């Protein structure tokens, strides 16, 4: 199960790296990049929540 947590973490890191370019482009005035960045940020929020839930499950499983 720990590898699953690491897999999810690596997925989040990859997502953040991919968002970087769109955020920079949006800051320069590219509206389409802003749409992509916001979509990616919503996905990041979702993936982060999943990881939090997974880590809590893992800790409970270890204790119990």
Q: Quote the distance between the C-alpha of residue 23 and its chain's center.
A: 15
Name the residue ranges covered by the structural domains of the chain: 2-63
pTM for the complete prediction? 0.86
Q: What percent of the chain has pLDDT over 70?
A: 98
Percent of the chain with pLDDT over 90: 94
In sequence order, the 6+-apart residues with CB closer than 8 A to the CB of 37 are: 19, 22, 23, 26
Digit-coded pLDDT (tens) for 17-27: 999 999 999 99
pLDDT for 2-12, tens place per residue?
789 999 999 99
Q: Residue 64 has what pLDDT?
A: 82
């Amino acid at each position: 199960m720990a590898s699953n947590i690491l897999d999810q973490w690596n997925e989040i890191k990859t997502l953040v790296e991919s968002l970087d370019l769109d955020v920079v482009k949006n800051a320069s005035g590219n509206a389409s990049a802003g749409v992509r960045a916001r979509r990616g940020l919503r996905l990041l929020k979702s993936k982060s929540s999943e990881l939090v839930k997974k880590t809590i499950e893992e800790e409970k499983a270890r204790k119990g």
